[in-house]
């Protein structure tokens, strides 16, 4: 948690018209909001202090409202907020919306588990921030500055990745290996949503992993490549099965042997050998 994040308590008098009075100083009573929860951010509103003799302030136009879309199967409502990223409004309403409308049901179909119903609504907020994107439950927040430069690149794919997190509906609690939690969204993104981008397949490995100490647990694209390899060679349902176990809390490393006949490390070694042969210069 950023130590510089504070809660601001400000008492506003009930009388909202007329003058507040004459002040020389404003005293802010501040304290740290949150130390434990990475997503315990506080929303700030704006406080304007205006000189009584200042020229009249022109009223700001109201920020664009949320807009909502329904997935192609009618089962999920997605709200997208571009109030802090007006430049992305049109892109969000057209390209992003149509990708999510089509793909959310596909993601849900691929990641079922007993007794589980995927979220029937979630929200995406686009705004300037430090990271690329994160998902906390049914709230996705993505960096509008980064997206703006990626409109013809990674923008939509990165939000397909986040939509998978919404469907996974679990975090990084104990026993859930992070490489698998992140490998699954990248597998769906790079091998199903946009295989033509070659973002995690052998083309990508050849370009990016020349001298890489390759491990199947390297997460994201590397783990996605491993999952694709296991799915093709051993069990096409491996991602569905592993995701269900992660969601149910029954994941354990022995499951790899159960589904493929080989331990995770045996699979990892075999995969690495194939990939190394592929990416080493002939
Ligand atoms: Zn992720």
DSSP secondary structure string for all residues of the chain: --TT-EEEE----S--SS-----S----EEEE--SS-TT------------TTSPPPPPPPPPPPPEEEE-TTS--EEEEE-TT-GGGHHHIIIIIHHHHHHHHHHHHHHS--TT----SEEEEEEE--SSSEEEETTEEEEEHHHHHTTTTTTHHHHHHHHHHHHHH-----TT--HHHHHHHHHHIIIIII-GGG-SSSHHHHHHH-TT----TTS-HHHHHHHHHHHHHHT-TTHHHHHHHHHHHT---TTHHHHHHSS-HHHHHHHHHHHHHHHHS--
Does residue 53 lie in a domain region? no
Cα atoms in the Cβ-side hemisphere of radius 13 Å centred on 144: 18
Does residue 78 lie in a domain region? yes
Q: What is the CATH number of the domain that holds 197?
A: 1.10.390
Does residue 13 lie in a domain region? no
Taking the C-alpha atoms of residue 6 and residue 29, their distance in angstroms, rounded to an integer, is: 9
Taking the C-alpha atoms of residue 179 and residue 192, their distance in angstroms, rounded to an integer, is: 19
Does residue 211 lie in a domain region? yes
Does residue 176 lie in a domain region? yes
Does residue 35 lie in a domain region? no
Distance 12 CA to ligand 1 centre (A): 40
Q: What's this model's pTM, rounded to 2 decimal places?
A: 0.77
Distance 180 CA to ligand 1 centre (A): 10
Higher-scoring residue by pLDDT: 22, 86: 86
Is 271 a residue whose pLDDT tops 90? yes
Distance 238 CA to ligand 1 centre (A): 19
pLDDT tens-place string over residues 174-226:
789 999 999 999 999 999 999 999 999 999 998 887 766 789 999 999 999 99
Does residue 26 lie in a domain region? no
As for how many domains the chain has, the answer is 1
Taking the C-alpha atoms of residue 236 and residue 258, their distance in angstroms, rounded to an integer, is: 14
Distance 183 CA to ligand 1 centre (A): 8
Domain boundaries, position 212: 67-279
Distance 66 CA to ligand 1 centre (A): 24
pLDDT, position 73: 97
Does residue 40 lie in a domain region? no
Identify residues whose C-beta is under 5 A from ligand 1, the ion.
Answer: 182
pLDDT tens-place string over residues 107-156:
999 999 999 999 999 999 999 999 999 999 999 999 999 999 999 999 99
Distance 281 CA to ligand 1 centre (A): 32
Q: State percent of the chain over pLDDT 70.
A: 78
Distance 61 CA to ligand 1 centre (A): 35
pLDDT, position 25: 74
Distance 262 CA to ligand 1 centre (A): 27
């Amino acid at each position: 948690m950023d130590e510089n994040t504070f809660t601001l308590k400000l008492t506003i008098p009930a009388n909202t018209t007329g003058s507040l009075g004459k002040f020389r100083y404003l005293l802010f009573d501040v304290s740290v909001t949150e130390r434990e929860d990475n997503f315990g951010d506080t929303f700030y509103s704006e406080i304007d202090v205006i000189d009584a003799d200042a020229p009249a302030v022109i009223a700001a136009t109201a920020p664009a409202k949320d807009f909502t879309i329904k997935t192609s199967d009618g089962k999920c409502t997605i709200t997208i907020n571009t109030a802090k990223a007006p430049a992305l409004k049109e892109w969000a309403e057209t390209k992003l919306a149509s990708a999510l409308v089509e793909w959310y049901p596909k993601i849900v179909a691929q990641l079922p588990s007993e007794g589980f119903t995927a979220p029937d609504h979630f929200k995406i907020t686009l705004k300037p921030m430090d990271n690329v994107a994160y998902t906390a439950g049914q709230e996705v927040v993505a960096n509008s500055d980064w997206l703006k430069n990626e409109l013809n690149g990674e923008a939509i794919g990165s939000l397909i990745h986040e939509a998978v997190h919404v469907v996974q509906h679990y975090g990084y609690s104990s026993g859930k290996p992070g490489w698998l939690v992140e490998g699954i969204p990248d597998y769906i993104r790079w091998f199903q949503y946009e295989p033509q981008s070659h973002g995690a397949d052998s083309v990508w490995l050849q370009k990016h992993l020349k001298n890489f100490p390759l491990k199947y647990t390297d997460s994201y694209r590397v783990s996605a490549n491993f999952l694709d390899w296991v799915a093709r060679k051993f069990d096409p349902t491996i991602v569905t099965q592993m995701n269900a176990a992660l969601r149910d809390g029954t994941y354990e490393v022995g499951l790899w042997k159960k589904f493929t006949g080989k331990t995770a490390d045996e699979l990892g070694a075999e995969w690495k050998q194939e990939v190394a042969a592929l990416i080493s210069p002939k």
